[in-house]
Every structure is written in structure tokens, then in C-alpha cells.
Amino acid sequence: MANLTVYIVRHGETLLNTFKRMQGWCDSDLTKQGRQDAIKAGQSIHAVHFDYSYSSDLKRAIDTKNLILQQLDHAPGQTRVERNFREVSFGYFEGLPSATTWKEVGQTAGYSTQAEIIADKGLAKAQQLMHLADPTGLAETNQQILGRWRAGITQIRNECAGGTNILLVTHGTFIRTLADYHHINTLNNYPKNGSISILKLSDNASELMSYNE
């Protein structure tokens, strides 16, 4: 397989983002600012010749991808929607206020914010605590998230073996988990709406070249 460069874009701002609500598998529309986030991201990479484009199957990611594609000088040969790239599931906590959610999640371990958990124990521990606090058991663990990521990347490797540049529009906590896996400190460094991270893929390795830019 030739080396692949994956441009990973976080979707534009949504209504639930403005309300500071937990938005994983639940969805909401892009705001006016969110559309601008997508357009700006597309303009910043307009000259890149993408062989393929992917997005999560959630509407906010699909809408962002479509706005980005409108800005490109060259349309990708193929574009696809893939469930493996959707946002992390927050289970029972979907749609609830973020601050009160993390206070509830962390209280049994002596924490009151997500940042406190990550600073002390790391992102994977924060995700584990949410999973344990979820009465439905649907909030994803770090290993479940990374399992989806690996499945998605395997699909990209198989489908894009003859390509070079790949566009992938996905979600904030999903990207953050990927960055954490690549040993990037994401404490107080959450992907901005419309931000771009660049991943290099070779036959047996991956390297995150840039994050949240």
C-alpha cells in the first residue's frame, strides 16, 4: 500500500455545541457559524487533490463534508459515509449539560470536572468512568472507540490502496481519542469546530503529523 495522508476535519459548530450539551450519537444541525467553519476548512485545503472522502454517518458530519467539497478545486473520485467514524457514544448522558454530566461521572472518584480526571488519570480513565456511571451501559469505553477507529482505518487502507490524500470528516471526542492514542496531550486542547488534523498511514504504522490546527 502506498502511504496515505488523511486530513481529519471536525464538523462545524452545531446547535447542541452552543448549548454545551453532550452530543455523541444524538445529532443537531450546523449553526450559521458551523457552516462558516466548514467553508473555512474547505478553503484552507482547496488545492489538495483528494482521491477519496469519508464522513461519519451523522448529519452534522455529512453536511460539513458537503460544504468542504464545494470549496475544493478537484472533486474526490469517491465519497462515502461510514458508521465507524461517528462520534463517541455518551449513552445515558446524550443531550445532557456537559458540566453537570462530568460532575456526576467523576463524583464517585472524587472529581468534579472532566479536566480534573484527564489531568490525574488520562482520557481513557475519564471514558471508563462515564461507562461505569451509565445505567444503560451504552457509553463507549476507550477500547470500544479505538476498535471502531481501527475498523474504519482498515477499510480506508483496503479501499484507498491506490490513493494518496483522503478527506475524513468526523467528531471532536473521536479525534481527541485518536490524538491521545498517538501520545498527544489533549488536556485543555479539544479539537475546534472545523479544525484539521493530519494523519500519515503506511503499511503497518500511523503517525499524527498535526492536531487541531
Which residue is listed with cell 472507540? 145
Q: Which residues face 52 on adjacent strands?
A: 78, 166
Q: Please tell me which residue in 11, 131, 140, 171 is annotated as part of the active site.
A: 11
Whether 94 sits among the annotated catalytic residues: the reply is no
Residue numbers in the known binding site are 10-17, 60
Rounded Cα distance between 45 and 68, Å, is 9
Let me know if 213 is exposed, middle or buried by CB neighbors in 10 A (0-12, 13-18, 19+): exposed
Numbered residues of the known binding site for substrate: 10-17, 60
Q: How far apart are CA 177 and CA 117, in angstroms?
A: 15
Q: What is the Cα–Cα distance from 150 to 169, expressed in whole angstroms? A: 16
Catalytic residue among 49, 74, 82, 87: 87
182 a catalytic residue = no
Q: What are phi and psi of 156, to 5 degrees?
A: -60, -45
Q: Closest Cα to residue 154, out of 192, 204, 188? A: 204
For the annotated catalytic residues, the residue numbers are 11, 87
